[in-house]
Amino acid sequence: MAKQTDSKHNVLIPGRWVERVEELFHVVLGIFLLAIAIAALYFSVVRVFETTPFFPTGMIQAINDILFIIIILEILRTVVARYTDGVFQLQNFLIIGVIAAVRHILTVGASMTLASGKSQAEFDRAVIELGISTAIVIGLVFAIFMAKASNNFKAK
């Protein structure tokens, strides 16, 4: 019989070192994402007061900026959950995708409303973008529903 060797003794870098380095990276990434969110909030507030005309351009830009900040915060939440739970949560990524797609829909819709001098090709492209983004939102919401149903099924 062949002698079995313990795989823990053959490892070049101990697992606890790798875990500590990974924990450190998660903390640094979390702090960095929080700093980005704070900076984005600051520049969004400044931009709201500098954008003319405020209605509708400034308001649309503010909504776009707010959704961007929410995306950053959801990514931060996912990093924190990964750090505390040890796993990436699928639902968080799906929610980020929904927010990003809705943000794109609002941006394209606003640009279609504000730009009266678009060519037919630009208008057609915008309508196609809206359709694709809407399909993405529907698909992601369905995926969230399926993920929740799967979690409920596992719990029973």
Residue type, 140: L
Q: What residue numbers bound the domain in which 65 lies?
A: 14-86
For the cut 90, the answer to whether the pLDDT of residue 153 exceeds it is no
Do both 107 and 58 map to the same domain? no
Residues 105 and 144 in one domain: yes
> Using one digit for the tens of pLDDT, what is the confidence trace for 132-142?
999 999 999 99
Q: Give the per-residue pLDDT at 11.
A: 66
For residues 21 and 81, membership in a common domain is answered with yes
What pLDDT is stored for residue 141 in this prediction? Answer: 97
pTM, entire model: 0.80
The total of other beta-carbon atoms located within 10 Å of residue 156's CB is 4
Q: Both 33 and 49 in a single domain?
A: yes
> What mean pLDDT do residues 45-71 have?
91
Is residue 64 scored above 80 in pLDDT? yes
- Same domain for 49 and 102, yes or no, is no
Kindly state whether residue 9 falls inside one of the protein's structural domains: no
How many residues comprise the chain? 156
Taking only the tens place, the pLDDT of each residue in 83-123 is: 777 777 888 899 999 999 999 999 898 888 877 778 889 98
- Tell me whether residue 8 is in a domain: no
8 A C-beta contact, residue 112 and residue 126: yes
* Residue range 27-47, pLDDT digits in tens: 999 999 999 999 999 999 999
Residue with tokens 């750090």: 83
pLDDT at 7 exceeding the cut of 80: no
pLDDT at 126 over 70: yes
- Asked if residue 71 lies in contact with residue 100, where contact means CB atoms within 8 angstroms, the answer is yes
Answer yes or no: do 93 and 126 share one domain. yes
Among 65, 86, 107, residue at a domain's last position: 86
Position 5 in a domain: no
The mean pLDDT value of the chain amounts to 87
For 123-145, give one letter per residue: b (16+ CB within 10 A) or e.
Answer: eeebeebeeebeebbeebeebbe
